[in-house]
Amino acid sequence: MKSKTNLTEAFPPMKIEEIDQILLYELDAIKIEKEDERIKFILQDPYCPDKSHIHSVYVIYKKSILNLLEGRIRSIHSHEFMSAKKKDRTISKEDIEYVLEMATVVVLASENNGVLTNYFYSGNGERLDSIFNICLGYSTDLQKKEHKVSLQRFMNDIKIVEQMGLLEKL
């Protein structure tokens, strides 16, 4: 684990293009347009970022990845994950409506020149919070006494993502 003094350098806020690579290649997500009619009801959620700030929208639908994000599978390096991944089917962007019921839709937003400032996801995937909290970056404000709980949460997020086998990808 990195020391607190190096956390600011080790975990700077990430650009959405960098996160895009993780979602597409590590989590096998499909990128879709925010104007896509099939997801308009998801983008109307009151917790979803303002449409003008939305940078990218993704659909994560593969069962092995969803099980990883829900904590049913511990790591991308586990035998359980590898065998589940072999059973997954790949769909095309055109067939997304068939998996939306069980899929997780991820929305990434930026109010700062393409740097992640907000995110939203529908469906399951509690571990996505840990991934995106790290992508938001470590702030030196977390070292202040009044933010002790936030610092502990950030350190816990690092452990969770490391256990998943994805920390080195961030």
pTM for the full predicted model: 0.89
pLDDT digits (tens, 9 = 90+) for 19-63: 999 999 999 999 999 999 999 999 999 999 999 999 999 999 999
pLDDT digits (tens, 9 = 90+) for 115-159: 999 999 998 788 999 999 999 998 776 677 666 788 889 999 999
Q: Into how many domains does the chain fold?
A: 1
Nearest CA to 119 among 22, 10, 38, 5? 22
Range of the domain at 128: 4-169
Q: How far apart are alpha carbons 170 and 166 in whole angstroms? A: 7
Residue 58, class by beta-carbon neighbours within 10 Å (0-12 exposed, 13-18 middle, 19+ buried)? buried
